[in-house]
């Protein structure tokens, strides 16, 4: 099946290429929010982020790069069989596989955090040395949520099962059960309340590996990013995240996502705008790998 048959394109992200073939990064929206436990609505995230991107410049003064130096293609939103979690996860696996077969770097816009699971599950078949970096308010390490093992509250636990506990790095965590914190401290590279300083200390180790970055918008304080399903007071500033992204520049990022933007709770559209700016920064930071990426693919 072709990408165009799997996705719907409406309006594209700022600066998107018209050509899939010449793109390195492919942006795909995953409008899924089936397992959101507190406030649903993240299925509208991808389109709100695209709309907000129109207000940004294509040039990043943080990275001194411009989107036209980074050929990317916005493939639209994945068509999903709403209501059926397993089929949705299957579709996400299929589209990830298609992008990897075409030697693209997938960049997914959520949607709820569960979408990261099928993506990582697929990626680690192509990149056996994969590590996952999570930036999030929540540990997402529950074994199950009310008996359901596939949930946005269990997603990192499932990811630990596919890539191995030691290959998961968790930053900025400030919410979870006592058991989740204990699991994190014992089994993952667990940095609660810490972001750029902790990441900086991990960079030498991460340089040797293929990296997946999952960014939950709720890592940022709800004062800056209220438009999300489970806001958690006491979070990071946007500046801290720009610092984080600058540190990631130079790593072999083979895929990423930005999840949990829920426009219904977003007065003034400030969360979508911040998310769009983070997407721009990430694309510019991660595209540097294309210079040397060929040897690394498949």
Q: Which residues bind Mn ion (CB under 5 A)?
A: 136-138, 216, 218
- 76 or 229, CB closer to Mn ion? 229
- 74 or 136, CB closer to Mn ion? 136
Is residue 124 a contact partner of residue 164, using CB atoms and an 8 Å limit? no
Taking the complex as a whole, the smallest distance from the CB of residue 42 to Mn ion amounts, in Å, to 11
- 8 or 143, CB closer to Mn ion? 143
Taking the complex as a whole, the smallest distance from the CB of residue 158 to Mn ion amounts, in Å, to 15
Is residue 47 a contact partner of residue 10, using CB atoms and an 8 Å limit? yes
Token look-up 């180790």 returns 205
255, 233, 244, 42 alpha-carbon torsion, rounded to 10°: 20
Taking the complex as a whole, the smallest distance from the CB of residue 94 to Mn ion amounts, in Å, to 26
Residue whose Cβ sits closest to Mn ion: 138
Taking the complex as a whole, the smallest distance from the CB of residue 260 to Mn ion amounts, in Å, to 6
3-class state of residue 272 by DSSP: helix
- 137 or 261, CB closer to Mn ion? 137
Is residue 113 a contact partner of residue 132, using CB atoms and an 8 Å limit? no
Taking the complex as a whole, the smallest distance from the CB of residue 216 to Mn ion amounts, in Å, to 4
Distance of alpha carbon 59 from alpha carbon 147, whole angstroms = 46
Distance of alpha carbon 172 from alpha carbon 216, whole angstroms = 10
């Amino acid at each position: 099946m072709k990408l165009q048959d799997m996705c719907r394109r409406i309006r594209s992200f700022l600066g998107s290429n018209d050509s899939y073939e010449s793109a390195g990064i492919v942006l795909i929206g995953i409008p899924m929010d089936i397992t959101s436990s507190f406030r649903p609505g993240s299925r509208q995230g991808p389109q709100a982020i695209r709309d907000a991107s129109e207000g940004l410049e294509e040039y990043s003064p943080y990275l001194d790069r411009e989107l036209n130096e980074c050929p990317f293609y916005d493939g639209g939103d994945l068509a999903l069989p709403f209501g059926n979690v397993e089929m949705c996860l299957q579709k996400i696996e299929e589209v990830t596989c298609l992008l990897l077969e075409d030697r693209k770097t997938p960049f997914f816009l959520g949607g709820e955090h569960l979408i990261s699971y099928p993506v990582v599950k697929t990626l680690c078949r192509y990149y056996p040395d994969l590590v996952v970096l999570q930036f999030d308010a929540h540990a997402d390490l529950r074994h199950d949520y009310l008996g359901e093992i596939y949930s946005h509250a269990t997603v990192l636990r499932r990811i630990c099962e596919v890539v191995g506990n030691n290959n998961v790095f968790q930053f900025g965590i400030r919410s979870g059960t006592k058991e989740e914190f204990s699991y994190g401290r014992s089994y993952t590279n667990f940095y609660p309340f810490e972001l750029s300083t902790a990441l900086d200390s991990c960079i030498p180790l991460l340089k040797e590996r293929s990296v997946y970055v999952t960014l939950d918008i709720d890592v940022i304080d709800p004062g800056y990013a209220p438009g999300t399903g489970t806001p958690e007071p006491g979070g990071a500033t946007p500046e801290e995240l720009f610092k984080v992204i600058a540190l990631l520049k130079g790593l072999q990022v083979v895929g990423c996502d930005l999840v949990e933007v829920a426009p219904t709770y977003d007065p003034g559209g400030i969360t979508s705008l911040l998310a769009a700016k983070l997407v721009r920064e990430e694309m510019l930071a991660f595209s540097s790998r294309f210079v040397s990426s060929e040897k690394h693919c498949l």
